[in-house]
Amino acid sequence: MPELPEVETTKSGIAPHLEGKQIKEIRVFEPRLRWPIPSDLATLAQGATIVSIERRAKYLLFHTSAGTVIGHLGMSGSMRIADLNSPRRKHDHVELEMADGTLLRYHDPRRFGAILWAGDNWAEHPTILALGPEPFDELFTGEYLFQATRKRSIPIKTLIMTNAIVVGVGNIYANEALFMAGVRPKRAAKRVTRAEAYRLRDAIVDVLTKAITQGGTTLKDFVNSDGQPGYFAQQLMVYGRDGEPCITCGEVLKLVVIAGRASVYCPSCQR
């Protein structure tokens, strides 16, 4: 599943091609995504100018002169700038053609993504309203994270993957950040010390920053806006490496399942 770095990489790839340009036409070939694409989307946005493209959590916000379109890549979605004359592929469900001929295609084999209309009040849209701070916001401090853990018995990994606490810490990056901070993923959140919370906050920011810089994580379905895979997978320290030696101490990495998600940790380096 594309996580925050993959979505940020997509935004950075498509924004220079679309911002400041007028929408000529929106073509919807398959409206049945996670939520149905509004039947009047093409009418609402046609002729509007894309003012800016922003990322909020894993959502892409296309701010236009007529209102905001919210996009989500779901489990297997991608957005690419394509040649106007290139053939449309089987799972290219939406095309956005600009007045100058620039073409954006939304590709989603599993159809778990979304293309929604939020109008002028996008911050109040149900998909956006309950989101917590971005990991790069000044609000997301070590003290904020420590206070969020108090009196909570859920595993610390579950807590940092909760969008109401902080957005964008998906499964891969939660595994990596917890390893960097020396905290076992199954530890009750309320058992995390202040010092550990501060380290974990810094680790979350660090691992996400590195992933964005390197283009996201290589997954089976994910490609960036140029159709290329991400390259952060070669840097992963624990995720997907259960049964292999820890790169720090050599101990065999262990696998536990938390809330249905694979969690790999080092029993020696993480406490």
Residues annotated as catalytic are 2-3, 58, 261
Give 32-95 as a DSSP string: BSSSBPPTTHHHHHTT-BEEEEEEETTEEEEEETTEEEEEE-TTT-EEEEE-TTSPPPTTEEEE
Task: Report how far residue 214's alpha carbon sits from residue 200's, in angstroms, rounded to the nearest whole number.
Answer: 21
- Kindly state the helix (H) or strand (E) to which residue 211 belongs, with its residue range: helix 194-213
Helix axes 194-213, 171-181, angle to 10 degrees: 130
DSSP per-residue string spanning 5-17 = HHHHHHHHHHHHH
Give the CA distances from residue 198 to residues 52, 238, 250, 264, in Å, rounded to whole numbers and listed in that order: 34, 21, 26, 21
CA distance 50 to 42: 14
Cα 222 from Cα 1, distance rounded (Å): 7
**Which amino acid is it at 114?**
A
What would the two tokens of residue 159 be?
A: 């807590």
Are 59 and 113 in contact, with CB atoms under 8 Å apart?
Answer: no
The answer to whether the CB of 55 falls within 8 A of the CB of 11 is yes
